[in-house]
Amino acid sequence: FIKETLLDYLDFVETEMNYKGKLIELCSSRKISAPIFHTEILKKNMFRTKIEIKSLNIVTYDLGKTIKQAERNASKKILKSI
């Protein structure tokens, strides 16, 4: 039971896209300034992340229930726009 449950969870984690990592890699490979992440807590279980890429004049905000989720959402938004 435990083995099956952990394996199912592992499959889920592996299929989740690491948008923050992809954004950092993209900036590095294109030789543009690294994204600057700033996350603040709005209220219990609600975070807002601001990502700024100065060389492209891009600033994006997004929300999430966790810091990771807010960063992931904002990173995904930027990746769709560039």
Q: What is the pLDDT of residue 14?
A: 46
Cα–Cα–Cα angle for 22, 23, 25, rounded to 5 degrees: 65
Pairing of strands 46-53, 58-64: antiparallel
Is 4 a residue whose pLDDT tops 90? no
Of the candidates 64, 55, 62, which has an alpha carbon nearest to the alpha carbon of residue 80? Answer: 62
Q: What is the pLDDT of residue 82?
A: 86
The answer to whether the predicted template modeling score (pTM) of the entire model surpasses 0.95 is: no
The widest CA-to-CA distance across the chain, in whole angstroms, is 51
DSSP 8-state class, residue 55: G
Residue 5's pLDDT band (boundaries 50, 70, 90)? low
DSSP 8-state class, residue 50: E
